[in-house]
Amino acid sequence: MGGKKRLVLVGNGMAGVRTIEHVLKLAPDIYDITVFGAEPYPNYNRIMLSSVLVGGSNMKDIVINDWDWYRENGIRLYTGDAVTRVDTGNKKVFSKSGVEAAYDELILATGSNPFILPIPGADKEGVIGFRDIQDCDRMMEASKKYKRAAVIGGGLLGLEAARGLLHLGMDVTVIHIHPYLMERQLDEPAAKMLQLELEAQGMKFMMQKQTAGVRGGRRAEGLDFADGSSLMADLVVMAVGIKPNVGLAKASGLKVERGIVVDDYLETSMPGIYAVGECAEHRGIAYGLVAPLYEQGQVLAKRLAGVETGGYEGSVTSTKLKVSGVDVFSAGFFQDVPGTRSLRIQDDLDGTYKKIVLQDDRLVGAVLFGDTTDGASLFAKIKKGESVAGKEKELLLGFPAGSAGENSQAARLAAMADDEIICGCNGVSKGTIVEAVKGGCGTVGEIKACTKASGSCGGCKPLVEGLLQLYGEGVSGEPVKEGICGCTSLGREEIVESIRAMSLKSVKEVMNVLEWHEPEGCSKCRPALNYYLGMLWPTEYVDEKESRFVNERYHANIQKDGTFSVVPRIYGGVTSPADLKKIAEVAEKYDVPMVKFTGGQRIDLLGVKKEDLPKVWAELDMPSGHAYGKALRTVKTCVGSTFCRFGTQDSIGMGIRLEKAFERLNTPGKVKLAVSGCPRNCAEATIKDLGVVAIDGGWEIYVGGNGGVKVRASDLLCTVKTEDEVMEWTAAYLQYYREQASWNERTAQWVERVGLGTIKTVLENPEERQKLADRIEETLSRSTDPWKEIIEDESLRKNFEPLASV
């Protein structure tokens, strides 16, 4: 290696090694490279620590560059050996074990340390941060001996730690000093929705609490708060922030403020010494997210390789969080302040929220909850800073006005410009991924290896898969199959086929036989398995209540204040004076704060206390409207020929017949129906999961519609002449959806995925249609209204776990 310049990297983390990767690509023969790492591992993905904690990944899974990569690139690597001193005069570094390395260029990528609150007892055993693999190991060990955990900090890192501990079987309480979670990444409505979802998964919260001290002897036993209250806990995880690791730089005489001060080319106050990553402070900002650190690394690599480049000018940041099926995205400046305008959509039933913030006709910020599909596209527009005047609602709704029928992921990806960023962490554009696919990358793994897309947080993997499907014609290999959750690598089809072939009859049996990574499963796979088993064995399988979501266990929708929403069934939106009186009397007796007509022509009793739920249902003595369930929700009707001068058919009668036939049906996702008495379509049947529209002499049946955040106009399935045919086709369609769709997949997504043609081919066969109708009838014959069971069976009511305190 004679004649090469000597490049030393202090810190074997993501930012520093990414810089080295770029240097090797730009100038592979310039440097003799030495890397020092404090941890005893090769370069790994710190973003995926939460996945390790919940058991979805192990150390091998999160390694970015393995030992062979260092050898193949001629890099001297010293792991578990932190640099303790820099001799800037003689240009040498010295490690803890005594290794001495000379440099011509030095990069400090020392990262950051978890901030530990300076409170009494913070040094006790059982008080830890959440920053590296060792912290994960300590938490997993603690979960085997102790059951109560407190996580201080309701930010991104704290919630990921809390979800991991919850998955390990601990009772977890998150303590946050602010009124709502993730205040740096979310606005209040999105944060409240996140909190409700996490509470439904079992997480507890103490908001606006200031921790005053850790109680206990040698080991932590709990927390004391400034207001005099306390909490018992055996494990305390501090996730209140990070602080740049600047000790080495300060001792070396470099300018240090919050971080190591660098210029636009990442050079420190001393020539030939650079800093990159979380330890660096650029224009007063020390970044803690991976995308800005990678952007810094690109600029520094070009500088070191002698390639002409503009300086680093700072980053617009975005954040993506995925906690057990909860998707959250934010980017840019998303708070409402004078000079900005915001547009938002909130759907509490679907659990989705979308907000965009505009300033001077430019998109400056966005918050997405529940559905983050548009995150990459919105972030690209924020970074470009171009005018979006006249396109504001298009950005909010996620598709061009008037083109809801084209609102598929494939259409969106095809419409994206080549320079739009798909992988925000690694700055990988659509064009780069498409080029890789056309160049021969035939799997997501190969694309990741070639471009780094999906190689960090993994949030962009669905988009990468979509591009592979869209542009991968003729490319060998199949996209990597994703399991239904981190507990298994098996997909929906493999699981259902295995259950059927091996006659598996319980959730536990499925997990054992199919070798689940996590023997107890999680809140994503347990409800899915519970549904698949009930769908396959309707006459044998006993529904596992503990595997259902919290709303389905309570048979009511939990509200943000902890009360519940009770919605009795009102068939086709038609009621009677007697039922109205009954509802009014119950509302008065139990001091229901609000009685509201819903969009589905029902009455909603909002604010019911948990302890009153069984009594409210008993006194209503009405079937549940299943407003909380993956089930038939409503059948909306117009007055049709009964009263309307335009009506051609009895839409009320048809709607009530449909609702009474399918009201107790469990489905992969919620299902909404509607019946319109004429093509004027007052019941909005063409944006429902299944809609029936009366025409002269018959009925049109439409499927796959959605009127929520992702609006989709439905497709015409067929035209029939009689009400009996409507019932037959509806039964067959719903059963085919039940048997073929993935858990939590709405009909709109299912129809787009499998194609209307496939569905028509099956249902147009009279014999197959009758078989499907027979199977759904068998399922319905075994089902009863859940509240009837609880009201009539005292022992069942006493043992009803979610209401055990009643």
Mean pLDDT, residues 789-800: 46
Per-residue confidence (pLDDT) for residue 247, from 0 to 100: 97
**Taking the complete model, does pTM exceed 0.75, yes or no?**
no
Per-residue confidence (pLDDT) for residue 321, from 0 to 100: 67
Give, in order, the Cα–Cα distances in Å from 554 to each of 193, 785, 800: 18, 13, 9
pLDDT at 244 over 70: yes
pLDDT classification of 323: cutoffs 50, 70, 90: low
pLDDT classification of 491: cutoffs 50, 70, 90: confident
DSSP letters spanning 662-711: HTT-B-SS-EEEEEESSTT-TT-GGGSSEEEEEETTEEEEEES-B-SSS-
Mean pLDDT, residues 277-281: 97
Looking at residue 234, its amino acid is D
Mean pLDDT, residues 536-560: 76
Integer-rounded Cα radius of gyration of the chain: 29
pLDDT at 275 over 70: yes
| Least confident residue range of 19-23, 318-322, 625-629 | 318-322
Instruction: Return the higher-pLDDT residue of 475 and 4.
Output: 4
Share of the chain above pLDDT 90, in %: 52
Mean pLDDT, residues 694-721: 91
Instruction: Return the higher-pLDDT residue of 483 and 172.
Output: 172
Q: What are the percentages of helix, strand and coil residues in the chain, rounded to 5?
A: 35, 25, 40
Residue 441 annotated as binding?
no
pLDDT at 16 over 90: yes
| Least confident residue range of 3-12, 129-138, 484-493 | 484-493
Output 572-580 pairs: Cβ under 8 A, ≥24 positions apart.
572/601, 572/635, 572/636, 572/637, 572/652, 572/655, 572/656, 572/659, 572/675, 573/600, 573/601, 573/602, 573/634, 573/636, 573/637, 573/655, 574/637, 574/652, 574/656, 575/603, 579/622
Which segment, 2-11, 191-200, 297-306, is predicted with the most confidence on average?
297-306
pLDDT at 409 over 90: no
pLDDT at 305 over 70: yes
Residue 638 annotated as binding?
yes
Per-residue confidence (pLDDT) for residue 602, from 0 to 100: 81
Q: Return the sign of the alpha-carbon dihedral for residues 30, 32, 36, 37.
A: positive
The per-residue pLDDT of the chain, averaged, comes to 87
Instruction: Return the higher-pLDDT residue of 633 and 518.
Output: 633
| Residue 170 to residue 172: CA distance in whole angstroms | 6
Which run of H or of E encompasses 8? strand 5-10
* Domains, the chain, with CATH or none: 5-111+244-305 (3.50.50.60), 127-240 (3.50.50.60), 492-548 (no CATH), 549-624 (3.90.480.10), 628-784 (3.30.413.10)
pLDDT at 399 over 70: no
Residue 644 annotated as binding?
yes
Mean pLDDT, residues 341-361: 90
Instruction: Return the higher-pLDDT residue of 481 and 602.
Output: 602
pLDDT at 710 over 60: yes
Mean pLDDT, residues 483-496: 82
Both tokens of 456, joined, read 């960090």
